[in-house]
Structure 1
Amino acid sequence: MSTLIPLSPSEHKHRFIDTRRAINDFRQAQVVRLRVPEVGNAGCCFPVLITKDPQFGEWDITALTSLEPESNLFVGDEGWQGVYTPLSIRTYPVRLTRADGPEGVSVAVRAEDLSDSGAGLYDDQGQPTDYLKAIENALHEDLSGAAATRAFCQHLNGLNLIQPISITVLYKDGKSRTLEGLYTLDQDRLSSLPDKDLLELQKRGYLMAMNSMLTSLFQLNRLIQRHKEHNSVNPIQKITLQRR
């Protein structure tokens, strides 16, 4: 992994971030990371699912952007084309890194992320530009959202509410593919929860996000339509979602 360089006005006053190039890095991202506070907005645009890190076993919330691997139907030549832009895309390629000082963190980028044109980082007085201020605010929002997401997923997993699914995609030419490694909420298990568990979910503010995740599955139809717009020769005929 490339070394992160902390941003400073003395070093980066005349450097920029090429935002179009940054968005292009997501062109092959079939899933995009979300935080639980984003689920309501994201669910109006994408299917919102749960994934599991195969190495560390940690749960995460993701937006499904395509029914094909290494494809993102929301990145085009003009940049991001989704109605909602996830935090992970809004903040990229700027990151938070540990630093000395009262906040304990600073913003940083990789050397290859810097450009001679694009969105400026500091103005002529060495003050952060509106672009960088917005990024910093979004990064702190993402940081707090990460903790909320871990707690959310751990609580749902403790109630056995996370259910694996597979999505089978059938094309016009008769061929098919199956998407694995995806999870959603177990509706049957949810409907049979004891009242005390439902009250705890409500108390934690989780029920609204859970409902948004379930209704977001209808956005699979949007992915079918967007795929047809990108591939009219061999469009998707239908999909089958199987809960396991």
Structure 2
Amino acid sequence: MTDHAILTPEAHAELRIRTEHGADLGDAVMYAITVPSEFRQVQNDYPILFRMNPERDGFTALAIFGFEAGENLYLDGGRWDAQGRPLSIEIQPFLIGGDPDDDAPKQVHIDMASPRIGAGEGVRVFDETGRPTPYLETIIDKLGALDAGYRESRDFFEALRRYELLEPLILEVTLDDGSTNRLVGFHVIDEEKLRSLDAAALGDLHEAGHLMPIFMALASLANLSALIARKNRRAHG
């Protein structure tokens, strides 16, 4: 259950947020949304896959943390074992208020049902005068970056559709203990079709700024082998 509210100093003067990591804080997730503007950073650690939305009229990009629901192989007790995290993880438990497809200014919302809401512990959101703390200012910057990245992604996904650059991923992994894990329902960049594009198409993608995130998504697939290694280490205990 969620309990979204507009963040205000009047209603949340004493609010504190737990910023550490742990399964009990909501970090035990298989994937998180990512946006093309952060693919360069995300691909350092995570495979980037694509999934069709429930309406089946578009795609979402996801940073993959595990092979099954509730599995985060980067989470080691209270430590997140990676150089960075996607913006959608970094901003929790805050959200962007308003219609995500609307270019109008957005409000900062917060999920008051989140386990990150500290009961007298954690980082303050507002100071004694009701002004945003440096922590909240950083969150607002990240929310703005995520909102801009989401809106920019519309053109990116339209370009992938226009040039038919996504193909279904079929990945079945046999672990050291003989068990099988599968990733189903995801797509990846079709490298063969990308290579076959003519100069005009490549020029179009480059001019629109789409080539770099495409290459970053392709490069991120090298992290699948590292993810499998993490799974094997976890299985060995």
1:140 aligns with 2:144: yes
Distance in structure 2 (CA, Å) of the matches to 1:46 and 1:3: 30
What displacement does 1:56 show? 4.4
Partners of 1:59 and 1:150 within 8 A in 2: no
Partners of 2:50 and 2:60 within 8 A in 1: yes
C-alpha RMSD of the superposition? 2.0
Distance in structure 1 (CA, Å) of the matches to 2:193 and 2:98: 41
1:71 aligns with 2:71: yes
Correspondence 1:93-172 to 2 at 5 A: 93-98=93-98, 104-113=105-114, 114-115=117-118, 116-172=120-176
Distance in structure 2 (CA, Å) of the matches to 1:178 and 1:112: 32
What displacement does 1:31 show? 1.6
Q: Structure 1, residues 27-72: CA drift from partner, whole Å, max 9, x if none?
A: 1x21211010111111111111111113343201111111333301
AA partner of residue 167 (structure 2)? Q
Unaligned stretches of 5+ residues in structure 2: none
Match of 2:180 among 153, 176, 179: 176
Higher strand share: 1
Partners of 1:61 and 1:149 within 8 A in 2: no
Change (3 A) 1:104 1:187: closer
AA partner of residue 117 (structure 1)? E
Distance in structure 2 (CA, Å) of the matches to 1:2 and 1:174: 39
The percentage of counterpart residues that share the same residue type is 25
Q: Paired residue for 1:209?
A: 213
Unaligned stretches of 5+ residues in structure 1: 234-244
Q: Paired residue for 2:84?
A: 84
Match of 1:189 among 175, 189, 193: 193
Give the match's secondary structure for 2:182.
strand
Partners of 1:15 and 1:117 within 8 A in 2: no
What displacement does 1:126 show? 1.0
Q: Paired residue for 1:228?
A: 232
Distance in structure 1 (CA, Å) of the matches to 2:7 and 2:191: 46
Partners of 1:65 and 1:72 within 8 A in 2: yes
Q: Structure 1, residues 114-171: CA drift from partner, whole Å, max 9, x if none?
A: 3221111101111100111111111011101001112101111111111111110102
TM-score (norm 2): 0.89
Distance in structure 2 (CA, Å) of the matches to 1:228 and 1:205: 38
AA partner of residue 147 (structure 1)? R
Distance in structure 2 (CA, Å) of the matches to 1:54 and 1:108: 24
Distance in structure 2 (CA, Å) of the matches to 1:50 and 1:98: 24
AA partner of residue 38 (structure 2)? E
Q: Structure 1, residues 191-236: CA drift from partner, whole Å, max 9, x if none?
A: 1112111100111111111111111111112112222332216xxx
Distance in structure 2 (CA, Å) of the matches to 1:117 and 1:21: 14
Change (3 A) 1:90 1:170: same
Partners of 1:22 and 1:92 within 8 A in 2: no
Partners of 2:22 and 2:78 within 8 A in 1: no
Equivalenced residue count is: 229
Give the match's secondary structure for 1:136.
helix
